[in-house]
Amino acid sequence: MAQVLEFKLPDLGEGLTEAEIVRWLVQIGDVVAVDQPVVEVETAKAMVEVPCPYGGVVTARFGEEGTELPVGAPLLTVAVGEPASHTEPEGSGNVLVGYGTSDAPARRRRLRPAPMAADGAGTRTAGNGTPVPGAAAGRNGTPASLVAAAVPVTALHTEGPVPVISPLVRRLAREGGVDLRQLAGSGPDGLILRADVEGVLRARTAQGNGWAEAPTAAAPAVPAVSAPASPAPHAAGVRVPLKGVRGAVADKLSRSRREIPDATCWVDADATELMRARAAMNAAGSPRISLLALLARICTAALARFPELNSFVDTEAREIVRLDHVHLGFAAQTERGLVVPVVRDAHARDAEALSAEFARLTEAARTGTLTPGELTGGTFTLNNYGVFGVDGSTPIINHPEAAMLGVGRIVPKPWVHEGELAVRQVVQLSLTFDHRVCDGGTAGGFLRYVADCVEQPAVLLRTL
């Protein structure tokens, strides 16, 4: 007799609590395989295809396209064939947050983790004496809502389910060719996190880059602000829900304005020589170097001189945290709204590598395929609002970062050059910064260095 299993919307990571159904990929009556994508949902940060952990026939779908569902709400039900005697229904072996896939909910047996003991070096060991890698002794502060059942793991997951935090982790591992069974998780009880998979991928490409990204604590919940009284029922106008990307942008910008005492300084710069340098680089052959890549290279050099601006404020600890790596975000306007993709390790990339990564992330932003990992973790933002035909702006800092460099349009203007009036390519540069991390002298020094590099690109040779 077939057994009907219910698949619920899993925790997609990054602290997201709901998602909107964009497109169903299966119909009622369709046969699905284990880990086959069944629905495309839009979170506040990305479009995600959600795979089903069961194989069988779809018997019901919950929610029409455009419906917003909370994490944990039923997505669909699947009828699976009766398992063989003394066996359990087959699942994907990958555990979603709060949803084991190796057993049917109606017949699931609770697994008790083996008792853990700490040795003298602080390594946790299971009851059979096997060390649990990646877990410090006493690390048990993960809320129960994140992990439904603790599964004891060993250094290699040779059998049984692999503890995985979300479908995004599995997709990242699959696309990167990472065998999750050979990966020891750093989460509680060996849970494999996105950071674990990204660490393996970075280790492959960075070839010994000597920094490690520290885990960041989840942002505290923002107290709800009472809404103003609703207008009279007869008031004219169109109401647009603040949800999805628009809602996420509104929340983040509002929080930035509440928490960050920002200030802005700006300067005009003669970009004629920078434009000539770029033209010379592109005349030498492909690949072409983008202007944004050159500005990013200038930013990373300036942050090396003024590390105060590559930081964030830990309000709970009342500390300024200076970072030794630059994950450079850049503002990109899309049909879905404003997004800020992040170039990882921008400080370790040359102009060619930066151009390629900017092009890749920009295309992903336009098609709506950016992953949450590509939209988070930035340490500094470069905002080229000149593409909108404007000269200047006082942008809002991308919380929790400490600064943002704005670049206006580059236009011909009268300029005194070598004592004579000439027509030059002029750009306005602005720096909005968190006044808690530095004073005006540091901000002014950073902006002046950026302007000097724009006017005389040879200045960069001192740091190459």
Q: State the catalytic residues.
A: 435, 439
Q: Which two tokens stand for residue 428?
A: 């306005």
Largest CA distance in the chain: 92
Per-residue exposure over 272-286, b if at least 16 CB sit within 10 Å of its own CB, e if not:
bbbbebbeebeeeee
CA separation for the pair 388, 283 (Å, rounded): 27
Handedness of CA 235, 237, 238, 240 (dihedral sign): negative
Q: Is 70 helix (H, G, I), strand (E, B) or coil?
A: strand
Distances (CA, A) of 43 to 57, 99, 188, 243: 27, 19, 25, 9
Spatial distance between the Cα atoms of 267 and 265, rounded to a whole number of angstroms: 7
Strand partners, 263: 433
Task: Name the strand (E) or helix (H) holding 279.
Answer: helix 272-283
C-alpha 212, offset from chain centre = 16
Report the relative pairing of strands 328-330 and 162-163 from DSSP bridges: unpaired
Contact 132, 116 (CB under 8 A): yes
Residue 232 is classified by DSSP as: P
Q: Are strands 319-322 and 311-314 parallel, antiparallel or unpaired?
A: antiparallel
